[in-house]
Amino acid sequence: MRNAAISDALAKAGLVLLPSPVPAEVCPPEGARVDSCSPADGRIDEAVDLAQPDGLERFDEAWLRLATRMGLFAEDGTFLFLLGVTLDPGNEYPLWTPVRLTEHWNVSGHNAGTISGPIGGGLLTASTDGEVIISGTTWQNGTASAVGVPHPYRAEPIRRDSRRTAATTPEAEPQVNLALTEIDRIDWNSYQCGCGRSAAHVADMLRKLVSATTEAQVSRIELSNHVEIQSFPTEVAPAALSVLVAALGEGLHPAARHKIHLTLYFCLGEEEPVMVDGIPVSACEDAARQGLWQLYRDAAAGFEAAALVINRIRGERERLEHFVSRLEDPPKWVESWNFKPKDVDS
Ligand SMILES: [Zn+2]
Report the separation in Å between the CA atom of 234 and the middle of ligand 1, taken as the mean of its atom positions: 10
Determine how many CB atoms are found less than 10 A away from the CB of residue 169: 6
Report the separation in Å between the CA atom of 308 and the middle of ligand 1, taken as the mean of its atom positions: 25
Domain that holds residue 104: 2-166
Q: Does residue 225 lie in a domain region?
A: yes
- Residue 276's H or E segment, with its range, is strand 274-276
Report the separation in Å between the CA atom of 271 and the middle of ligand 1, taken as the mean of its atom positions: 19
Q: Does residue 345 lie in a domain region?
A: no
Q: Does residue 341 lie in a domain region?
A: no
- Tell me, yes or no, whether 41 and 157 share the same domain: yes
Total number of domains constituting the chain:
2
Please provide the DSSP assignment of 325-341 as one string. HH-SS--GGGGGS---T
Report the separation in Å between the CA atom of 236 and the middle of ligand 1, taken as the mean of its atom positions: 9
Report the separation in Å between the CA atom of 185 and the middle of ligand 1, taken as the mean of its atom positions: 19
Report the separation in Å between the CA atom of 240 and the middle of ligand 1, taken as the mean of its atom positions: 12
Say what the pLDDT of residue 82 is.
85
Show which of 131, 166, 201 is a domain's final residue: 166
Q: Does residue 171 lie in a domain region?
A: no
Report the separation in Å between the CA atom of 155 and the middle of ligand 1, taken as the mean of its atom positions: 36
- Tell me, yes or no, whether 18 and 142 share the same domain: yes
Sign of CA dihedral 129, 41, 180, 292: positive
* Alpha-carbon gap, residue 182 to 292, rounded angstroms: 18
C-beta of residue 84 within 8 angstroms of C-beta of residue 123: no
Report the separation in Å between the CA atom of 196 and the middle of ligand 1, taken as the mean of its atom positions: 6
C-beta of residue 99 within 8 angstroms of C-beta of residue 78: yes
Q: Does residue 208 lie in a domain region?
A: yes
| Parts of the chain with a pLDDT under 50 | 167-172, 341-346
- Tell me, yes or no, whether 187 and 145 share the same domain: no
- Tell me, yes or no, whether 250 and 153 share the same domain: no
Say what the pLDDT of residue 76 is.
92
* Alpha-carbon gap, residue 306 to 68, rounded angstroms: 34
**pLDDT tens-digit series, residues 226-262:** 999 998 999 999 999 999 999 999 989 999 999 999 9
CA distances from 173 to 163, 166, 295, 325 (A): 8, 10, 22, 33
Report the separation in Å between the CA atom of 225 and the middle of ligand 1, taken as the mean of its atom positions: 7
Show which of 108, 141, 166 is a domain's final residue: 166
CA distances from 187 to 83, 177, 190 (A): 43, 18, 6
Q: Does residue 147 lie in a domain region?
A: yes
Say what the pLDDT of residue 85 is.
57
Say what the pLDDT of residue 170 is.
45
- Tell me, yes or no, whether 11 and 81 share the same domain: yes
Report the separation in Å between the CA atom of 245 and the middle of ligand 1, taken as the mean of its atom positions: 20
Report the separation in Å between the CA atom of 201 and the middle of ligand 1, taken as the mean of its atom positions: 7
Q: Which amino acid is at 72?
A: L
Report the separation in Å between the CA atom of 187 and the middle of ligand 1, taken as the mean of its atom positions: 15
Show which of 140, 166, 192 is a domain's final residue: 166
Say what the pLDDT of residue 269 is.
87
C-beta of residue 226 within 8 angstroms of C-beta of residue 202: yes
- Tell me, yes or no, whether 316 and 258 share the same domain: yes
pTM above 0.75?
Answer: no
Report the separation in Å between the CA atom of 145 and the middle of ligand 1, taken as the mean of its atom positions: 34
- Tell me, yes or no, whether 136 and 191 share the same domain: no
Report the separation in Å between the CA atom of 274 and the middle of ligand 1, taken as the mean of its atom positions: 24
- Tell me, yes or no, whether 80 and 185 share the same domain: no
Q: Does residue 343 lie in a domain region?
A: no
Say what the pLDDT of residue 154 is.
84
Comparing CA positions, the residue from 234, 188, 233, 177 lying closest to residue 210 is: 177
Report the separation in Å between the CA atom of 222 and the middle of ligand 1, taken as the mean of its atom positions: 10
* Alpha-carbon gap, residue 33 to 38, rounded angstroms: 11
Q: Does residue 16 lie in a domain region?
A: yes
- Tell me, yes or no, whether 55 and 128 share the same domain: yes
**pLDDT tens-digit series, residues 54-110:** 988 999 999 999 999 999 999 999 999 887 656 666 666 677 889 999 998 988 887
- Tell me, yes or no, whether 152 and 204 share the same domain: no
**CA 37, 40, 44 angle in degrees (round to 5)?**
65
